């Protein structure tokens, strides 16, 4: 197992400055590059928003994402698939299960 850094946690400001709450995140590609520069072995990324949003993912986009990661010598160490609603609400569980399956389909495209 390799530990990865969360690409979404990289901010646009310099590491020497205090990061404001409204400081923009780096793009996915910039975040992957930053992870490699810092010596990380892998990355962890969200599949529920941003560049890897599962419901906007195509096989071509998944290939592009994987190429970005591999081009920096990194791997995906984890994918965050938390839809933010858990399984406590019976009425929403069918959609949560379906979304979870689609996230797993995306993961299979980038393995």
Q: What does the pLDDT look like over 16-31, one tens digit per residue?
A: 444 445 567 788 999 9
- Is residue 7 a contact partner of residue 35, using CB atoms and an 8 Å limit? yes
Q: pLDDT confidence of 12, banded at 50, 70, 90? A: low
Within a 10 A sphere around the Cβ of 61, how many other Cβ atoms? Answer: 15
Residue 78: in which H helix or E strand, if any?
strand 75-80
Residue 80's DSSP bridge partners are 46
**pLDDT tens, 51-97?**
899 999 999 999 999 999 999 999 999 999 988 888 888 899 999 99
pTM for this predicted structure:
0.80
Distance of CA 6 to the CA centre of its chain: 7
pLDDT of amino acid 97: 93
């Amino acid at each position: 197992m390799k530990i990865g850094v969360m690409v979404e946690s990289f901010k646009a400001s310099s590491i020497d400055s205090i990061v404001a709450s409204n400081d923009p995140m780096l793009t996915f590609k910039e975040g992957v590059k930053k992870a490699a520069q810092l010596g990380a072995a892998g990355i962890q990324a969200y599949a529920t928003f941003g560049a890897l949003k599962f419901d906007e993912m195509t096989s071509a986009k998944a290939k592009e994402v994987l190429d970005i990661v591999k081009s920096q010598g990194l791997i995906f160490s984890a994918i965050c698939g938390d839809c933010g609603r858990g399984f406590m609400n019976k009425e929403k569980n069918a959609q949560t299960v379906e979304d979870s399956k689609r996230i797993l389909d995306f993961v299979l495209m980038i393995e």
